[in-house]
Chain A
Amino acid sequence: DTAVSQTPKYLVTQMGNDKSIKCEQNLGHDTMYWYKQDSKKFLKIMFSYNNKELIINETVPNRFSPKSPDKAHLNLHINSLELGDSAVYFCASSQDQGGGRGLLWGANVLTFGAGSRLTVL
């Protein structure tokens, strides 16, 4: 029973297209994230939601739009795809926020999904 599942695992598409990646967690966590991992392996946070509320919105082009219909789901929609969007996108969840902002000390330990490899041609 997968804790954090994301679909699809692979996307290959043409520049200019729109695509979506879905993520679901069954851990009962309050916080969910989207991370982007580029070819140099840097893991960069894009967005974070806590109980369906957007709490982190890093400098990401507004072609990227996250949606959290409930606290177990966080989807990512990307409009007008560009070559530079090619990367692996990881969904993750944690019990709560970190940095002392959550209710629990060290509650932001991340559980990652398997990743979605996006290739834009």
Chain B
Amino acid sequence: QQPVQSPQAVILREGEDAVINCSSSKALYSVHWYRQKHGEAPIFLMILLKGGEQKGHDKISASFNEKKQQSSLYLTASQLSYSGTYFCGTEIYGQNFVFGPGTRLSVLP
């Protein structure tokens, strides 16, 4: 069951913040976040496993709500290097891991 991602696309200026959401109709076993730059492979950013969890490194962080049905990725003071497509991937217990449709982020100078 594919998760829903929003927004589909976002355009920012350098230094602005962005939030990307990922939601499921069922409680999740885990949420993964990946970033894919144009012409490259997706790269793992982080995984969240526990309801209420918040995690981050540098200016990119993520949260997982208590019901384990929604996660948000926070990009703070965005840099040009943050441009790319962000995918969440979700698991329901005993089912296959599924990627969301992606959110295209463009950071302009």
Instruction: List A residues at the B interface (Cβ < 8 Å).
Output: 40-45, 48, 56, 58, 90, 98-101, 105-106, 108-115
Contact = CB atoms under 8 A, between A and B. Distances in A.
A106 B44 contact: no
A33 to B, nearest CB: 9
Q: For A45, A58, A113, which residue has the most chain B Cβ atoms within 10 angstroms?
A: A45
15 contacts: A41-B36, A41-B104, A45-B96, A48-B96, A98-B30, A99-B95, A99-B96, A100-B29, A100-B93, A109-B47, A110-B34, A111-B44, A112-B42, A112-B43, A113-B41
Interface residues of B, number: 27
Q: For B41, B49, B89, B97, which residue has the most chain A Cβ atoms within 10 angstroms?
A: B41
Contact of A43 (B40, B42, B95): B42
A99 B32 contact: no
B85 interface: yes
Contact of B41 (A42, A100, A115): A115
Contacts of B98: 45
Secondary structure at the A interface, as helix, strand, loop or mixed, is loop
A108 B42 contact: no
B92 interface: yes
B109 interface: no
Nearest to A109: B44
Contacts of A41: 36, 85, 101-102, 104
Given A99-B94, A100-B93, A110-B42, 5 more contacts: A56-B96, A99-B93, A99-B95, A105-B49, A115-B40
B97 A108 contact: yes
Contacts of A45: 96-98
A113 B43 CA distance: 10
